[in-house]
Structure 1
Amino acid sequence: MKLGLTCYGMMRYFRSDSNIFKQTSYPLGSSEKRARELQEPQRYNSFKGASHLSSPGLRLFRIHPQVHRPQLKRHTPTHNKTAPTSSSSSSISRLNSIVRHISPKMVSTTNFPAEVVPQAPEDPLFGLARAYKADNSPNKIDLGIGAYRDENAKPWVLPVVKKADEILRNDPELNHEYAPIAGIASFTSKAAELVFGADSAAISEKRSTTLQTISGTGAVHLGALFLARFYKGNHTVYLSNPTWANHHQIFKNVGHSIDTYPYFHKETKGLDFEGFKQTLKSAPEGSVFVLHACAHNPTGVDPTQEQWTEIAALMKERNHFPFFDTAYQGFASGDLVRDAWAIRYFVEQGFELVVAQSFAKNFGLYGERAGCFHAVTAPAGDASNTITRIGSQLAILQRSEISNPPLYGARIVSTVLNDRDLFAEWEENLRTMSGRIISMRDTLRAKLEELQTPGTWNHITDQIGMFSFTGLSESQVMKLREEFHIYMTKNGRISMAGLNDNNVDYFAKAVDKVVRESA
């Protein structure tokens, strides 16, 4: 490490020929200094472990890493062993101050030691993606990715998105000014109509407010933060078991207590409806329940409309608060109205609720981070005033969190939602994506049944949306990865979008082999 004292062009060193450390200076380049250096080299090596470096007009010390601070010899006359004088102590103090100033890493410790800031584990999904990319096998299959892939396992840019992008790039009025805190109005208004319905009473009665967010994650975070600050009910948030992993972290980070409700039945590989209902009955009154509107992540298991009506009745009876997360509207079934049925039903029943909405999946805008957060108040004489107050507080929170939402993804969505022809084309694109996934479900089930793979596989087609809970164990999942280069999450969830006509046969045979070997 090079240490140089450049102030006033002076070179400093310390003498130790008395009890008091004397500090002597010579002008840089001085012939007198050079003569003294040659005559008394020990003075210039008074730092243990130091060596000299020269540069034009400047002499530097290199202090080796093992030396934490200069070790100075004090010569004490044998005839008079006295304690250091105050002048000596002052000199030592000055020296220590200089060392701390010019070499802080050698004498200071971090404010963030390992016991306070431990190494965080790698995100499982991103770690899985990294492992997949590092695998050189020509047979490798990525079933962990939460993004749509076409028949050739490539990302698919929706044709309607390409058209909207072209329109925007050719708009001479397009600029990059800040969006309003609440986002682009032409985007948020159409997003609300999409999820609630254009004829929704919540919209016509001005009982809803919408803010543009950083996709679904940002919407969930904004909603969690708002409830943590203002919700007067029970602050325990109930998440389905299992749920999207990020739900846990988001709600914990803003101070909510977390509990779970039974959701996936391991034996039937379907909905544990009785367990779900029991938790609705036993949870403290006024608890928050996070509900997946459609295409449940990670199971692909959705309640039927009849089951949703029972869920709503129990929640109303216990005064629970619904927090809907909708990331797959139109992508699950190919039908925008069907996939929004649960949310619209709850609004019709007069619930006060919030919705986190993402356009990552149904527009393929994963990296553009387009989303919305919606709040709806119950019908009442002061509902309009209530929602105005809620909107004002959401804007304050948004301002301190992200200030202004990003523009481009929202502009693409807005362009499509506000154009009748583009909207119709988008619906066709949605049917293309959902249709291919449904086809892969049918094909996979047929191949497993043709191979007579042990177990039942009807759950593959009973489930809906991008993901399927296969029922494979963690050991089977690891065997698929190690022997067949097939990558999926440890809980056996697969992304159906990762399967295609080129690899589904290979995957089915691999599953058949590992299931038989562990049967």
Structure 2
Amino acid sequence: MQSSYFSSLPEMGTDEVFDLIKAFSADKYPYRANLAAGVYCTDDGGSWPLNAVCRAESTLHHQADPTRHDYLPIAGDTQFLKVAQDLVFFFEENPQEMAIRSQERSLRVASVQTVSGTGANHIGAQFLVNHLNTNQVWVSDPTWTNHHIIWESVGKKPRLYPYYNTSNNCFDFHAMMQTLEAQARPRDTVVLHACAHNPTGLDPSKEQWMAIADMCQRKQLFPFFDLAYQGFASGDPSKDAWAIRYFYKQCPFIEMIVAQSFSKSFGLYGHRAGALHLVLADESDEIKGRAVAHLCHLLRCEISMAPKFGSMIVKTILSDQELTAIWLKDLQVMSKRIKSMRHALYHELIRLGTPGSWEHIINQIGMFSYTGLTPQEVNALRQQSHVYMLTSGRMSISGVNTKNLQYIANAIFKARQI
């Protein structure tokens, strides 16, 4: 038999999240629960197309724009990029305040449209490797798994800064600062979660963000913000972008990148709408133009241009005050349900007398909770109760609802008896 050129390919591990989703789908147990996927679900356990998105889709359908299937420019849809910039740096819920902020728009942000947040992270990483000559890349321990894969794909194996204290299930600010102060060097890139840290659900306080910004400025570190949950985390887009805006306002200017995703905050998971924003110290059109040209070069050889329909929905919503108001109400629906499930799960675990402390579940924010469950306990949840979550103990709170809450809490109680 003729051997293949690829017969010596090494084994490649699969993605745990998608493996668990597959296993859950194949499981016929009636009380199974999917706590692995980072997708918002209703209290009935189903998908939820946002009201604002449905309205925007109807508007686009009736407009029947004959150019709706045309190619975008390499850099992306200009109007989409404007509303994407405004959402990160200038958005206010009050229309009058928003108008004032928009008039104060800075010219020092170079933006391109990407394939959601993953694409923004990858294009940003490749750009920095090519042009910043970044020495080291620092990511939190733990962080979103894709951060490691993305940076390794561009030739940089990330170093870890402490983030999560396993003894008390809290954010370890002191250890993070101590490590970066001692070991980070000028031009190092520091990847930061703007809000709703994945996987821990733990964010720095405003005072801690101020200290992190001061350190980045003083040590000449390059912040790389991953913004995946703006508006979804707290229900307030301005609040969730606070850290980025604080960094942005510093003087001397702090140069940085923001990788922006619209998957969670608009429920556009499959449409892959995203943007990358490069914040520059130089306000000249020439430098910004050069930066966009280099980013476009990377986009051209990777995707040519980003998907169109998701960005059309986003710009339709954010360009219309009525649709924006509906979207803000949608954010409240999602964020409030997540918060209510956190409190309900906490109180049920306490009622059952589940061993351990569970306050961290209600102190965390956003889609995920780092439960503190061990790999052995997580395995017991899968094998005994058909409850699926990551081996790390990361739980998607969105998978919890009023119908399965008691079952999940009982499953955790039983797993803790092992």
TM-score, normalised to structure 2, is 0.95
Return the alpha-carbon distance in structure 2 between the equivalents of residues 202 and 466 of structure 1.
34
Q: Is it true that 1:141 corresponds to 2:44 in the alignment?
A: no
Superposition pairs for residues 71-110 of structure 1, below 5 Å?
106=1, 108-110=2-4
Alignment-mate amino acid for residue 87 of structure 2: L
Superposition pairs for residues 121-200 of structure 1, below 5 Å?
121-175=13-67, 176-197=69-90
Q: Is the 8 A contact 2:185 2:220 kept in 1?
A: no
Q: Is the 8 A contact 1:285 1:320 kept in 2?
A: yes
Q: Structure 1 residues 385 and 201 mapped into 2: Cα distance closer, same or farther (>3 Å)?
A: farther
Kindly provide the CA deviation profile for residues 282-332 of structure 1, in whole angstroms up to 9, marking residues without a partner as x.
Answer: 212221000000000000000011110011111111110000000000000
Report how far residue 113 of structure 1 moved: 2.1
Return the alpha-carbon distance in structure 1 between the equivalents of residues 158 and 393 of structure 2.
24
- Per the alignment, residue 240 of structure 2 pairs with 339
- Per the alignment, residue 113 of structure 1 pairs with 7
Q: CA RMSD in A?
A: 1.4
- Per the alignment, residue 458 of structure 1 pairs with 359
Q: Is it true that 1:397 corresponds to 2:289 in the alignment?
A: no
Report how far residue 200 of structure 1 moved: 6.3
Q: Is it true that 1:247 corresponds to 2:147 in the alignment?
A: yes
- Per the alignment, residue 467 of structure 1 pairs with 368
Kindly provide the CA deviation profile for residues 35-61 of structure 1, in whole angstroms up to 9, marking residues without a partner as x.
Answer: xxxxxxxxxxxxxxxxxxxxxxxxxxx
Which of 208, 220, 225 matches 2:109? 208
Q: Is the 8 A contact 2:216 2:222 kept in 1?
A: yes
Query: Alignment partner of 1:312: what SS?
Result: helix
Kindly provide the CA deviation profile for residues 218-242 of structure 1, in whole angstroms up to 9, marking residues without a partner as x.
Answer: 00011011011101342x1101011
Kindly provide the CA deviation profile for residues 229-281 of structure 1, in whole angstroms up to 9, marking residues without a partner as x.
Answer: 101342x1101011000110111111123101000110111101111001220
Return the alpha-carbon distance in structure 2 between the equivalents of residues 213 and 287 of structure 1.
24
Return the alpha-carbon distance in structure 2 between the equivalents of residues 203 and 290 of structure 1.
28
- Per the alignment, residue 91 of structure 1 pairs with none
Q: Is the 8 A contact 1:294 1:328 kept in 2?
A: yes
Return the alpha-carbon distance in structure 2 between the equivalents of residues 248 and 286 of structure 1.
19
Report how far residue 416 of structure 1 moved: 0.2
Q: Is the 8 A contact 2:193 2:226 kept in 1?
A: yes
Kindly provide the CA deviation profile for residues 85-116 of structure 1, in whole angstroms up to 9, marking residues without a partner as x.
Answer: xxxxxxxxxxxxxxxxxxxxx5x4322122xx
Alignment-mate amino acid for residue 208 of structure 1: V
Q: Is the 8 A contact 1:270 1:459 kept in 2?
A: yes
Q: Structure 1 residues 205 and 466 mapped into 2: Cα distance closer, same or farther (>3 Å)?
A: closer
Return the alpha-carbon distance in structure 1 between the equivalents of residues 153 and 104 of structure 2.
32
Return the alpha-carbon distance in structure 1 between the equivalents of residues 272 and 84 of structure 2.
14
Which of 224, 227, 230 matches 1:329? 230
Q: Structure 1 residues 260 and 383 mapped into 2: Cα distance closer, same or farther (>3 Å)?
A: farther
Alignment-mate amino acid for residue 468 of structure 1: S
Alignment-mate amino acid for residue 74 of structure 2: I
Q: 469-478 or 393-402: which moved more?
A: 393-402
Runs of 5+ unmatched residues, structure 2: 92-99
Q: 255-264 or 324-333: which moved more?
A: 255-264
Q: Is the 8 A contact 2:235 2:331 kept in 1?
A: yes
Return the alpha-carbon distance in structure 2 between the equivalents of residues 208 and 202 of structure 1.
15
Runs of 5+ unmatched residues, structure 1: 1-105
Superposition pairs for residues 52-67 of structure 1, below 5 Å?
none
Report how far residue 203 of structure 1 moved: 7.1
The structure with the larger Rg is: 1
Which of 214, 218, 224 matches 1:313? 214
Q: Structure 1 residues 421 and 503 mapped into 2: Cα distance closer, same or farther (>3 Å)?
A: same
- Per the alignment, residue 95 of structure 2 pairs with none
Return the alpha-carbon distance in structure 2 between the equivalents of residues 323 and 473 of structure 1.
31
Q: Is the 8 A contact 1:141 1:487 kept in 2?
A: yes
Q: Structure 1 residues 233 and 127 mapped into 2: Cα distance closer, same or farther (>3 Å)?
A: closer
- Per the alignment, residue 293 of structure 1 pairs with 194
State percent identity of aligned pairs. Answer: 45
- Per the alignment, residue 94 of structure 2 pairs with none
- Per the alignment, residue 264 of structure 1 pairs with 164
Report how far residue 201 of structure 1 moved: 9.4
Report how far residue 509 of structure 1 moved: 1.2
Alignment-mate amino acid for residue 511 of structure 1: I
Report how far residue 383 of structure 1 moved: 3.9
Return the alpha-carbon distance in structure 2 between the equivalents of residues 185 and 286 of structure 1.
31
Q: Is the 8 A contact 2:86 2:102 kept in 1?
A: no
Report how far residue 450 of structure 1 moved: 1.3
Return the alpha-carbon distance in structure 2 between the equivalents of residues 501 and 150 of structure 1.
10
- Per the alignment, residue 254 of structure 2 pairs with 351
Query: Alignment partner of 1:500: what SS?
Result: coil
Return the alpha-carbon distance in structure 2 between the equivalents of residues 402 and 510 of structure 1.
44
Q: Is the 8 A contact 1:376 1:387 kept in 2?
A: no
Return the alpha-carbon distance in structure 1 between the equivalents of residues 169 and 46 of structure 2.
30
Q: Is the 8 A contact 2:76 2:305 kept in 1?
A: yes
Return the alpha-carbon distance in structure 1 between the equivalents of residues 17 and 197 of structure 2.
17
Q: Is it true that 1:364 corresponds to 2:267 in the alignment?
A: yes
Report how far residue 178 of structure 1 moved: 0.5
Return the alpha-carbon distance in structure 1 between the equivalents of residues 103 and 289 of structure 2.
13
- Per the alignment, residue 374 of structure 1 pairs with 277
Return the alpha-carbon distance in structure 1 between the equivalents of residues 66 and 160 of structure 2.
46
Query: Alignment partner of 1:257: what SS?
Result: coil
Superposition pairs for residues 7-86 of structure 1, below 5 Å?
none
Report how far residue 400 of structure 1 moved: 1.1
Q: Is it true that 1:302 corresponds to 2:188 in the alignment?
A: no
Report how far residue 206 of structure 1 moved: 0.9
Report how far residue 373 of structure 1 moved: 0.4
- Per the alignment, residue 437 of structure 1 pairs with 338
